[in-house]
Chain A
Amino acid sequence: MKLKEVDRTAMQAWSPAQNHPIYLATGTSAQQLDATFSTSASLEVFELDLSDPSLDMKSCATFSSSQRYHKLIWGPHKVDSKGDVSGVLIAGGENGNIILYDPSKIINGDKEVVIAQNDKHTGPVRALDVNIFQTNLVASGANESEIYIWDLNNFATPMTPGAKTQPPEDISCIAWNRQVQHILASASPSGRATVWDLRKNEPIIKVSDHSNRMHCSGLAWHPDVATQMVLASEDDRLPVIQMWDLRFATSPLRVLENHARGILAIAWSMADPELLLSCGKDAKILCSNPNTGEVLYELPTNTQWCFDIQWCPRNPAVLSAASFDGRISVYSVMGGSTDGLRQKQVDKLSSSFGNLDPFGTGQPLPPLQIPQQTGQHAIVLPLKKPPKWVRRPVGASFSFGGKLVTFEGVKAQSPQGAEQQQHHHYVFISQVVTEKEFLSRSDQLQQVVQSQGFVNYCQKKIDASQTEFEKNVWSFLKVNFENDSRGKYLELLGYRKEDLGKKHNKEEKHECEFLPSAGGTFNISVSGDIDGLITQALLTGNFESAVDLCLHDNRMADAIILAIAGGQELLARTQKKYFAKSQSKITRLITAVVMKNWKEIVESCDLKNWREALAAVLTYAKPDEFPSLCDLLGTRLESEGDSILQTQACLCYICAGNVEKLVACWTKAQDGSSPLSLQDLIEKVVILRKAVQLTQTVDTSTVGVLLAEKMSQYANLLAAQGSIAAALAFLPDNTNQPNIVQLRDRLCRAQGEPVPAEQSPKLPCERPQLSKGRPGPVTGHPQMPRASTQPYYAHVENPPPPGFIMHGNVNPNAAVPPPPSPGHMHSQVPPYPQPQPYQPAQQYSFGTGGPAMYRPQQPSAPPASSTYLNTAYVSSATSYSGHSPLYAAQHPTSSTSSPAAAFPPPSALGTSFQHGGPGAPPSSSAYALPPGTTGTLPAASELPASQRTGSQNGWNDPPALNRVPKKKKMPENFMPPVPITSPIMNPVGDPQTQMLQQQPPPPAPLSSQPSYPQPHLLGSQHFHGLQQPLSQAGMPTSFPKPNIEGAPGAPIGNTIQHVQSLPTEKITKKPIPDEHLILKTTFEDLIQRCLSSATDPQTKRKLDDASKRLEFLYDKLREQTLSPTIINGLHNIARSIETRNYSEGLTIHTHIVSTSNFSETSAFMPVLKVVLTQANKLGV
């Protein structure tokens, strides 16, 4: 397809391959005249601008020359890599002269463009070639067998390649070998070609077919094969191209007879040795494969002869041809559509006088025909055979999972083009891992989550911290897993209770020493001064006036003291007045403390004092308002311009347990794009989420948009490193964000698991639904678990999770169902009948965990099946499909009778804990990391049942029962579906559940066990071993649920460290001291009453849960760790319950909470409040 054209009768030379942009130089050709008969001559340079779709070529410069040219070449000698135009133009003139031009000067329009010239030759110089190895060497040929080798660096004195050939003849062609730099070939119209060896300085071979009809018009060396060359013949009687191999120089290797008349020029592509251009007097331009003789292409030309043809060295698809009608055309061999290009050409042609040209050569000019202006859609096809330069030999493409697909061309095909030996064409699929540190840290994180070794992990992080801030963050995170986190937080902020105490004590002592003795007599004056007036007021019992007087007189202390005596109301008023009056620096703080208005502090403190504000909140804020206050403070810090303060907001969010905001803040402060910084963030997030799950009742199940984004980024990174299983584990699973859903599906499939097409998209959809069904909100009991553990530890060497212990002691309830027997467990298997739903689970599970879990399909092995349940839950969200039925079934029953089931008599604490540690529900966490599961459970499940019952691994427990509740504890993975009535509710073949449904929810029969959605199954599990008939039965009825959510989970997290190292040892609980037994009976009685009058399942569930949570209280009573104030308060509450004055009870409750140590009461007080509130509501 024609790309460009210029109307010139000229020789042409492309700029060297190194040159960019591409130029075409033209020099008026000698021995040709155009229609004007002008004898002037010029040297022009055009730019090939392919981005310009027009046919015109842009002329860059014209130099009027005194010469006309027989030959023009453009050598790369001294190419300036920076300059646009460089190299040297070498022209062969009419009078035996060779002229060197500087093309850059021509383009610049300089007058002096000639670098050098030499007229050593006799006669016109028709042959020129540049050595491609030493570009300063130029060979030239002229009449009289003259061949010179010119050194452009020393142009004055040329060399000869050897003695002139005899007889003397014109040299029409000359060419340097393309492979061996000192080999040169020359040819003459006589038909002989001579090969010269410059090192020997003599001709080494002469090539001739002795036909005497070869008139050499073209000579070219094979681009790749040193011994091969082609000769073209101009003779119409022998219009052939001969391919010679010097190894058999007696006759041509191949003869290409594709032209009908003599060949005027040839050009061999350097880019593809299979492409040889030839143009002849038959007006054809052909492209043939000289290795086969096949014609690959015929250029669509007009009917003109071309006398010169050149491949563009730089653009391999482009060639130029100079025709006798005075035109140079630029073509592409790649075909295409020439629509719209033709018209112009036709117009120009018709106005030319082309056919008047009388050639000096005596050759007849074919009649100039105006091309037919056919209306056809002018499509020009490309080469028959794809040229080498479009054949991509190598490739490397990334694919999902950090895989790299590569293939490489088979090296060096044999020169002959000889048909390929049987090559194997391989494609390599490789795994690319570039982020080793990232992976190893991610791995560590997973292990930690699995092993629950959070404290150690945080400690390590603290030790390794590079910056103070980092250290702080980790310290804060760590505190979450320790007892008395608020206290520890305070310490981190620089406030140590003991320190303060010491200081304070000192002062007190001081004061005491100077206290005036109170022993003397005093005198009551009723004079008219203020003192007197006050005295009068006091004497008449008129506190109010007395206080007013004092205030008036600015006797604040007196006023306050009097106000106290005058009762609450007066005191409050007085306080207010005092604060209104007082101006001291700390007034606002005092105000806040006294008025309990923490919001005020947080909202208006100077942000430089954020530590103090946070400390205050830590000290005073109620559990339910604590997170929001921290949040508030964090938000303020974050919105502050100061970047240091901004980062500190992270600490606030950690205290608040607000993962989403932590992510936002952290992201803002850090460069989150690199894998390691993302890892930094994710480590904190994961740990914080754990902490939140353990210690607070904040609903961690919802994954915020930002967090989801980050987590999926993280998962993507892991996947990109080939850690697909890990990526799945970290991917939040309870979100329906499309990108996460897609990623999950992709990961699953990438693992090679065939996922039924319908299923994968569904999963994500189900999840949200499920989560909606989650039972009521859980708030307000953040830190209970921690608190409860404290006393326990103090007392017992091997502390089991507190929750369990309490149960044990407190449940003297005869109604407690006997610990489940194996048979019982067995009955639970059925709810998981279909194997299919578990398939996804398998994918999610970590490496080894997967397969093991699925075995349990033989329901005959009860323990195994139970494991199944467990693992399924922990490890995978997808298993819901299986679980949900079960779960649905549970609901109705759980509200009434469940607790007993979930809390079978405790015992065998030690042993069970070993197992319990890893299984700790919270660990299941947001990311479907199956902490316990992967490690211990599957393994255990592989054990024969008999072994499992052995005490050493705690498998003697009926796991199914315990585990079931666990689901609840993993809010993120599993959201109980609301529709209790769902048809799936009746899993076929589960007698237990069926029974449940049929039966009204009476006591706490075995049947209820499976359905009890209780978080800390772990604990309960262990109790099975010891078959103490404990007292639980009574409680199931009436405790509100939310309490359970928060508390039981937390302590587990704390204890795990200890727990794991515990020896197996039974722990018996002490009895509750008689004097406090009344508390238990009263509370339990109240719950029972509530239960019996409560109607909606929600409330019942709450009450059930509450009853369990109160075990924390009973434990404390047993250990006698509660302060007398609290004990008194509790007794007061009990009394108010007896009088059914619940509101009074609530008031007392509030008083206790606000005056006592938070950690001491947090485990049970909120629950108590729930019960009281319910009782009040129900009016029981």
Chain B
Amino acid sequence: MVSVINTVDTSHEDMIHDAQMDYYGTRLATCSSDRSVKIFDVRNGGQILIADLRGHEGPVWQVAWAHPMYGSILASCSYDRKVIIWKEENGTWEKTHEHSGHDSSVNSVCWAPHDYGLILACGSSDGAISLLTYTGEGQWEVKKINNAHTIGCNAVSWAPAVVPGSLIDQPSGQKPNYIKKFASGGCDNLIKLWKEDEDGQWKEDQKLEGHSDWVRDVAWAPSIGLPTSTIASCSQDGRVFIWTCEDTSGNMWSPKLLHKFNDVVWHVSWSITANILAVSGGDNKVTLWKESLDGQWVCISDVNKGQGSVSASATESQQNEQ
């Protein structure tokens, strides 16, 4: 069952491009073609505008909340080629950093797992991906991957922080030996996986080919303690793929077609437990998908204006159709 519990009238003056809840699900950040970023307190079904952030000079494409352990921090990226990091200090939201290292629209921002520190990946239409690392005292160090995706990177998504080998029982005390990875998707129809090597340099680790048009979004599934890595990708070509990698080396990725839609698919989002995928498409449709026991992805819900019913299984949904 998908039921609206809160309808937030954002008062944006133009198209909304992204809406993200914070870590706890109590605050909503939205961004729009009207160049603004807004933050609402949506606890208990309310909608109190906390902040209306102005600073971008173009449509704002995405917003991303940092983990609360670093405070209330929001990153936004815009067509104006800038990334702005906003921070709440004493109840007031202010710009704390502006990154203007890109030559074209910045389409996607994504915070790394909090275990790594405060690191933001940004993907731009200039084909580059930049990585901003907070080094303290208001300083951000920038690393840039040039030409990551020819004519544009549309999406970046971090891999969950998983230490190779045992998932639990990390020896406490010493810093776990994380391997930082993220995925990106671009106008070269590719999904690329990037890995930080020992020297702190980012190297292309994998190239996942499957889409026949721009990759619009990639979403690395949250870790649920299984050794399998999963990435969802969607594309201009209407296809949504689920990529899985079961070997520990992380080299053998195999795609499974979730569905081919008739229109561009803009966005994919995993549920926190990684068992449901929300797919939003160009026909303004939002659908929820779940993997059935036999490994097939099944649409369990059509969401329209936040409402929808949920069928429990493939068979049920078939029955519903009849």
Interface residues of A (CB under 8 A from B): 1, 3, 20-21, 50-53, 314-315, 317-318, 332, 334-337, 379-382, 386, 389-411, 420, 424-434, 436-437, 673-675, 705, 709, 713, 716-717, 719-720, 746, 749-750, 752
Contact = CB atoms under 8 A, between A and B. Distances in A.
A428 B7 contact: yes
Contact of A429 (B11, B28, B308): B28
Contact of B104 (A335, A436, A709, A719): A335
Contact of B151 (A3, A675, A749): A3
Nearest to B293: A674
Given A3-B150, A334-B152, A436-B312, A750 B284 contact: no
21 contacts: A20-B213, A315-B187, A315-B214, A317-B125, A332-B151, A334-B152, A337-B126, A386-B33, A386-B58, A390-B125, A397-B19, A397-B20, A397-B278, A398-B278, A400-B21, A431-B3, A432-B310, A434-B288, A436-B1, A673-B226, A713-B224
A533 to B, nearest CB: 68
Given A390-B79, A407-B16, A752-B26, A318 B151 contact: yes
A327 B267 CA distance: 38
B contacts with A: majority SS: loop
Contacts of B42: 429
Nearest to B20: A397
Nearest to B114: A742
B140 interface: no
A943 B18 CA distance: 50
A392 B303 contact: no
B123 interface: no
Nearest 5 CB-CB pairings of A with B: A428-B306, A399-B21, A20-B212, A336-B126, A50-B150
Interface string B249-288: 0000000000000000011011111011011111011101
A400 B9 CA distance: 21
A314 B276 contact: no
Interface in B283-304: 284-286, 288, 290, 293, 300-301, 303
Contact of B79 (A386, A436, A437): A386
Given A51-B188, A403-B21, A398 B276 contact: yes
B237 interface: yes
Nearest to B237: A20
Interface in B9-61: 9-26, 28, 30, 32-33, 42-44, 58-59, 61
A589 B125 CA distance: 78
A395 B293 CA distance: 27
A392 B268 CA distance: 12
A394 B284 contact: yes
Nearest to B214: A315
B286 A394 contact: yes
B87 to A, nearest CB: 15
A411 B284 contact: yes
Interface size class of B (residues with CB under 8 A): 35 or more
Contacts of B286: 394, 396, 404, 406, 408
A392 B266 contact: yes
Given A382-B79, A396-B279, 20 more contacts: A53-B147, A53-B150, A334-B126, A380-B103, A382-B105, A382-B125, A386-B58, A391-B15, A393-B15, A393-B282, A395-B16, A398-B269, A399-B21, A402-B271, A406-B19, A425-B32, A430-B4, A433-B1, A705-B169, A720-B272
A430 B19 contact: no
Nearest to B308: A430
Nearest to B312: A436
Contacts of B293: 674
Contacts of A399: 20-22, 25, 272
B272 A400 contact: yes
Contacts of A21: 212
A668 to B, nearest CB: 15
Contacts of A424: 9
B271 A432 contact: yes
Interface of B: 1-26, 28, 30, 32-33, 42-44, 58-59, 61, 79, 81, 103-105, 107, 125-128, 146-147, 150-152, 168-169, 187-190, 207, 212-214, 224-226, 236-237, 266-267, 269-273, 275-276, 278-282, 284-286, 288, 290, 293, 300-301, 303, 305-308, 310, 312
Among the interface residues A50, A332, A335, A427, which one has the most CB atoms of the partner chain B within 10 A? A427
A390 B105 contact: yes
Given A386-B79, A401-B25, A403-B25, A432 B2 contact: yes
B282 A394 contact: yes
B16 A427 contact: yes
Given A429-B6, A750-B25, A336 B103 contact: yes
Nearest to A425: B12
B278 A404 contact: yes
A749 B10 contact: no
Contacts of A3: 150-151
Contacts of A396: 267, 269, 278-280, 286, 303
Nearest to A718: B273
Contacts of A746: 23-24
A407 B19 contact: yes
Given A382-B105, A426-B10, A395 B280 contact: yes
Contacts of A429: 4-8, 21, 28, 42, 306
A389 B107 CA distance: 12
Given A314-B213, A404-B303, A750-B25, A394 B280 contact: yes
A434 B312 contact: yes
Contacts of A432: 1-2, 271, 276, 288, 301, 310
A393 B266 contact: yes
Contacts of B9: 424-426
Contacts of A335: 103-105, 125-126
A959 B24 CA distance: 37
Contacts of B20: 397, 399, 405
A39 to B, nearest CB: 36
Which of A21, A386, A673 has most chain B Cβ within 10 Å? A386
B306 A430 contact: yes
Contacts of B310: 432-434
B5 A391 contact: no
Given A51-B150, A396-B269, A336 B125 contact: yes
A51 B208 CA distance: 12
A842 to B, nearest CB: 14
Contacts of B26: 749-750, 752
Contacts of B225: 709, 713
Contacts of B308: 430
